[in-house]
Amino acid sequence: MSSVEVHQHIVSLLLKPNPIILDIGCNDGTDTQKFLELCPQPELYCFEPDPRAIARFKKKLGPSLSRVKLFEIAISDRNGTIDFHPSNADGDARDWDLSGSIRRPKNHLTEYEWVRFDHPVSVETRRLDDWCSEAKLDEVDFIWMDVQGAEADVIAGGARTLSKTRFIYTEYSDRELYEGQLTLQAILNLLPSFEVAAHYPRAVEGDVLLKNKRA
């Protein structure tokens, strides 16, 4: 499936014009923009801790920025602050911010030698359950989770929210690109009410759409 087809497929499963969507690790808003185009009236909450990506997000969405709520934080297993490891590169890939994570890079350093990680910076972080409680969200239709190896942190801080979430889209890698990164099976072990609804393999990692059997 192409990127557009993936988004179309997900939206078709939500079966409502105004789904509640959490875009965790929204980066420059590319995926956010697709959901705005495909859903008539989405309730979209976006989370991103990298200042460079945040600036691009605001520029890319332009007038559409008023249709979403952007939170300049990382979603993790704690409230407070955490070290974020921003990614970068040289040459044509300068300002490469797509690999930044709250997890330290591990095999990423050898799998993608052209990506470097700058000195960590402190960013604000929130537990998903606490944030949803404050936002008064009792249930979530869909979570797009692109957190570069920090899936365990999001899950640890969001058990209550995830139990009331219908679908989750997430990346995974069985090669531990970041320290402590979960394999797909380990993700499923932490989310026993979820099953794989669609699998989108890639060369090294993969993406999956998970469906909550109880929601």
34: three-class secondary structure by DSSP: helix
Residue 156 in any domain: the answer is yes
**Is the model's pTM score more than 0.85?**
yes
Q: How many domains does the chain have?
A: 1
Residue 72 in any domain: the answer is yes
CATH number at residue 174: 3.40.50.150
The answer to whether residue 18 scores a pLDDT higher than 80 is: yes
What is the token pair recorded at 183? 């394999």
Residue 195 in any domain: the answer is yes
Owning domain of residue 195: 3-79+127-212
122: three-class secondary structure by DSSP: strand
Residue 50 in any domain: the answer is yes
Q: Say if residues 44 and 68 touch (Cβ distance below 8 Å).
A: yes
Dist CA 202 CA 110 (whole Å)? 18
Bridge partner list, 203 = none
Residue 113 in any domain: the answer is no
Residue 13 in any domain: the answer is yes
Please report where in the chains the tokens 């998903």 appear, as a residue. 128
The answer to whether residue 203 scores a pLDDT higher than 70 is: no
Dist CA 24 CA 45 (whole Å)? 8
Tens digits of residue pLDDT in 56-66: 999 999 999 99
Residue 154 in any domain: the answer is yes
Residue 122 in any domain: the answer is no
